[in-house]
A and B are shown apart, each in its own frame.
Chain A
Amino acid sequence: MKKICSLLALALLTFASPALSAPLNVVASFSVLGDMVQEVGGQDITLSVLVGPDGDAHTFEPAPIDAKLLHNADLIVMNGLELEKWMEKLVRASGTKADILIASEGVTPRKMNEDGQTIPDPHAWQDLTNGVIYIRNIEGALAKADPSHADDYKANAARLLTKLGALDTWTRAEIATVPEAKRKVITTHDAFGYFGAAYGVTFLAPAGISTEAEATAGNLARLIDQIKQEKIKALFIENMSDPRLMDTIAHETGAEMGGELYSDALSAASGPAPTYPAMFENNVPKLVAAMKLN
């Protein structure tokens, strides 16, 4: 009993000492943002992520617990660029008073053509220089919401930014080992527009930008023609799509499956891409190896 009392006292002392007691409640909309926020926030925040590992933020269906999380949040971090179309409704339903950070603010959005409509491409984090913008935005929002830990956030962010800078250099060097004419890849949906533009790789996809789009026979036939014509061998599935469509294409064209790329979601902690930098460390070598076969 005595021991517990002293522990309690100790705990009270440590938590109560600086200014406020409870750590900042932050909710991130999906796993990639969640990892960024956790890295920058470190020990000083409590993080909840709405769409967890391997989940699809395009087609998420919120549950009441998600509204509750938002309601109790001090800060909400979302991607924007129309990725989380369900968010606006959820925020309104939750009646939250939290600040909302659009992490992609300041990014130059790419436009995408889907079914004749021009829509913004939400997958901005696939370019590491955009990742830097995300981290700066997150750092700023955290510091504003909890100024007492601003220095910690700044230090954490600086460490992460150094890492991303090195990763960016490494990615460019790796891609550069592939002859320019061979830098073509097939994926299940257009999630790599920013990656392609930043690092000079052409991505072709059988469906539109969103996983909601259904592949049509005409689309599939044109894609198969293109693969045959350009002799592409690099074929990838993402961590959340239907691999059967890719099997069909591989069967038809003799292309090879290059393994799993992580684009819209991180893997679980035990998987190959549990963090934002690990996502690149997983994707880049696989892309490079497959493109060399082209």
Chain B
Amino acid sequence: MNTRRFLLAAMLLCAASAVPAQTIDPARSSVSATFKQMGVPVEGKFKKVGGQVGYDPANPTAAQAKVDVDVASFDLGDAQYNHEVQQKDWFDGARFPAASFVSSSVKAVGAGRLEVGGKLTIKGRSVSVNVPLSVRNDAGTTLFEGSVPIRRLAFAIGEGEWKDTALLADEVIVKFRLVVAAAK
């Protein structure tokens, strides 16, 4: 009786407790944003990415993630453009230096595939997004890769004259690759 009670309690505790979080390896992780400017695809990369991922392959739906992106590290490959995108009409990096994604639900949608629901916050505006991604193990690390289309205007990225979507499409594809140490 005692033993059964103990086991039950232990199982409940396990299910309830979060999977231990691992720190995202910034050197091997990347987040980029691709947008279209009068039909021309332009990709910018966030050079500084961090955060925590708790992921147990035995219990994928219990996974949790918080991804932080340093907005000032956005690199379009041109100093003048990099300066421009930090201005008030764009990221307003001085007021909103960080963008983040915080997961709230995880669904397993196939072998090595997850759909992670959560809140994406950029420039102080939060939008719920569903992010499809793939998970795989690679030499002692776990690798999460995926991409998600977002609407820049929902985050007030490109205000004033820049709202014109014929000049700059509303849709932006955010691509990411996050690497954490594999759970033991």
Chains A and B bind each other: no
Q: Which residues of B contact A (CB under 8 A)?
A: none
